[in-house]
A and B are shown apart, each in its own frame.
Chain A
């Protein structure tokens, strides 16, 4: 299938000389949810801004649905919806009107039923007649999503949709994303909550200091890069870890009733068999075994740390 978003050699140098993007290539397939994961200042927002026409790329090309965003800007932008990171709303505009306004901007005919559908989907219908200024922060963010969905985009950018949002609302947001996925809307969301990428994304792209470090299927990524922890419940508590088991780097927990062993699933030998044999040799009786995959967070921290000195300060990220 042809990608809905295709980015080639994208570079962006801001007027102050800061190079926010240093040659980004990225393909996003229709219907998928891609999480763009990266620390503050990595270039996530700049990438989105370039794709939406808010920033002019210094070099490189971007196509949306096959349309070049500069040559066929009208066709390209018609397909795109954007939910910005910062909450920006006309304070004294009715919720209903601001959503209708977005529809109009995208050249769609007035359709009160469509506006109502969008507002209902985001549990905003009872606020439809209210002014934006009367809403809570989380509600305002929903209005922004409603505005972005008002013209039925095929590609939706969610720039940090759950930054500063409480847990309940975050789960709510994930539910909305899930519904949109079922409608076949392609979603690209930026986040620095790894939990979020883990919960809703199909693929994860890790970006740091203007470069994409990796794009991979979430499950593959976690399998490939994941470390696992083997937890061994003991029949009788241990006071200390026997010296001869020192080479395994075990940790003792639960009042001496549990040993944890961390291993790399990619390694040729996980060392599990050797460890179990060694335990038997020491006469340590095992009650139960359990393994736990490491989270995306650990993978991410690991990747960014290997990339160098960590987050870069980016003066242009805020807008």
Chain B
């Protein structure tokens, strides 16, 4: 294992994050506050409680998931797309660095950034609502796994994308809608029965549900199913990344 290379890639990627430190952190804090104002104050006035949890607190896990998923994906996609686009990727490809090490560096950094943002949102939300986390280890596990698997997905998108439009396509057109429709701001049980069945097809719903369970002990689907879903999703992304390096797809000519 070339751990120094992993560390070098990780550090370089984190360097990009810290160069725009305030932007990277202030933006999610502001948008979270806006969500609280809009959803918490406006809608929360009508919906008092969801399954015994105050509405303001109820949306916190969903809000964190929303940011973490989009941030992990776009960070990782951008992180590998830029070197490919600018051409600096030649160095990593010609270095004594294995595919696994490169992925560990890039994906690890993207996941770490998303994790940092998730934590910041969690801290911000404590200013608005009274939060008690029922199962901290489960919460951390869900958060980390989500960061990692969506960073892997982003890595695949970054390799696949041939231009900036494609880079934004999946985060904007797929992930954001899935998160909104996945019970971020409501419980799936609040939907009409037909839509509840549709919601079960949404992979993001399982993640939000499991993550919310670790906070409040309430979930739309059993927590084991959620865990299975995130493991399955992460595994698929891992397989995709492995195939990319195995075949050199869009990396080596």
Task: List A residues at the B interface (Cβ < 8 Å).
Answer: 14-15, 49, 52-56, 73-75, 77-78, 80, 82, 84, 86, 88-93, 97, 100-109, 147, 316, 319
Determine the distance from Cα of A2 to Cα of B12 in the docked complex, in whole angstroms.
38
Given contacts A82-B90, A88-B86, A90-B86, contact A316 B95 (CB under 8 A): no
Determine the distance from Cα of A82 to Cα of B96 in the docked complex, in whole angstroms.
13
Q: Chain B's nearest CB lies how many Å from the CB of A316?
A: 7
- B15 adjacent to chain A (CB < 8 Å): yes
Chain B hits for A86, CB < 8 A: 87
- Chain B 11-22, CB-CB to A under 8 Å as 1, else 0, gives 110011001000
Nearest chain A residue, comparing its CB with the CB of B251: A54
- B253 adjacent to chain A (CB < 8 Å): yes
Chain B hits for A108, CB < 8 A: 4
Given contacts A55-B252, A104-B8, contact A90 B88 (CB under 8 A): yes
- Chain B 54-91, CB-CB to A under 8 Å as 1, else 0, gives 00000000000000000000000000000100111011
| Total CB contacts across the A-B interface at under 8 A | 86
Determine the distance from Cα of A73 to Cα of B96 in the docked complex, in whole angstroms.
7
- B163 adjacent to chain A (CB < 8 Å): no
- B123 adjacent to chain A (CB < 8 Å): no
**Cβ-defined contact, B90 with A88, below 8 A:** yes
Task: List B residues at the A interface (Cβ < 8 Å).
Answer: 2, 4-5, 7-9, 11-12, 15-16, 19, 83, 86-88, 90-98, 248, 252-253
Given contacts A56-B248, A80-B94, contact A104 B253 (CB under 8 A): no
Determine the distance from Cα of A105 to Cα of B4 in the docked complex, in whole angstroms.
7
Determine the distance from Cα of A229 to Cα of B19 in the docked complex, in whole angstroms.
63
Chain A hits for B88, CB < 8 A: 88-90
Contact of A54 among B2, B8, B96, B252 (CB under 8 A): B252
**Cβ-defined contact, A49 with B253, below 8 A:** yes
Chain B hits for A109, CB < 8 A: 4
Nearest chain B residue, comparing its CB with the CB of A94: B15
Given contacts A54-B253, A55-B253, A56-B252, contact A105 B93 (CB under 8 A): no
List 20 interface pairs A-B (beta carbons < 8 Å), by A numbering: A15-B253, A53-B93, A53-B94, A56-B253, A77-B95, A84-B87, A88-B87, A88-B88, A89-B88, A90-B12, A102-B91, A104-B11, A105-B4, A105-B5, A105-B9, A106-B5, A106-B95, A107-B4, A316-B253, A319-B253
Determine the distance from Cα of A82 to Cα of B88 in the docked complex, in whole angstroms.
12
Determine the distance from Cα of A97 to Cα of B12 in the docked complex, in whole angstroms.
8
Contact of A93 among B15, B252, B253 (CB under 8 A): B15
**Cβ-defined contact, B2 with A147, below 8 A:** no
Chain B hits for A77, CB < 8 A: 94-96
Q: Chain A's nearest CB lies how many Å from the CB of B135?
A: 38
Given contacts A88-B88, A107-B4, contact A101 B94 (CB under 8 A): no
Chain B hits for A15, CB < 8 A: 253
**Cβ-defined contact, B91 with A107, below 8 A:** no
Chain B hits for A100, CB < 8 A: 8
Chain A hits for B12, CB < 8 A: 90, 93, 97, 101
Determine the distance from Cα of A74 to Cα of B2 in the docked complex, in whole angstroms.
10
Q: Chain B's nearest CB lies how many Å from the CB of A18?
A: 11
Q: Chain B's nearest CB lies how many Å from the CB of A56?
A: 6
Chain B hits for A103, CB < 8 A: 8
**Cβ-defined contact, A106 with B252, below 8 A:** no
Determine the distance from Cα of A247 to Cα of B5 in the docked complex, in whole angstroms.
69
Nearest chain B residue, comparing its CB with the CB of A82: B94
Q: Chain A's nearest CB lies how many Å from the CB of B33?
A: 29
Contact of B94 among A54, A75, A97 (CB under 8 A): A54
**Cβ-defined contact, A54 with B9, below 8 A:** no
Chain B hits for A319, CB < 8 A: 253
Determine the distance from Cα of A52 to Cα of B2 in the docked complex, in whole angstroms.
18
| Beyond A104-B9, A105-B95, A316-B253, 9 additional pairs, beta carbon < 8 A | A53-B93, A74-B98, A75-B96, A88-B90, A90-B88, A92-B19, A97-B12, A105-B97, A108-B4
Chain A hits for B15, CB < 8 A: 93, 97
Determine the distance from Cα of A101 to Cα of B6 in the docked complex, in whole angstroms.
10
Contact of A104 among B5, B86, B90 (CB under 8 A): B5
Q: Chain A's nearest CB lies how many Å from the CB of B86?
A: 5
Chain B hits for A101, CB < 8 A: 8, 11-12
Chain A hits for B7, CB < 8 A: 104
Chain A hits for B253, CB < 8 A: 14-15, 49, 54-56, 316, 319
Chain B hits for A78, CB < 8 A: 96
Q: Chain B's nearest CB lies how many Å from the CB of A169?
A: 21
Q: Which of B16, B92, B93 has the most CB of A within 10 A?
A: B93
Determine the distance from Cα of A147 to Cα of B83 in the docked complex, in whole angstroms.
15
Determine the distance from Cα of A240 to Cα of B90 in the docked complex, in whole angstroms.
61
Q: Chain A's nearest CB lies how many Å from the CB of B60?
A: 34
**Cβ-defined contact, A147 with B91, below 8 A:** yes
Q: Which of A53, A82, A104, A107 has the most CB of B within 10 A?
A: A104
Q: Chain B's nearest CB lies how many Å from the CB of A274?
A: 57
**Cβ-defined contact, B96 with A106, below 8 A:** yes
Determine the distance from Cα of A80 to Cα of B94 in the docked complex, in whole angstroms.
8
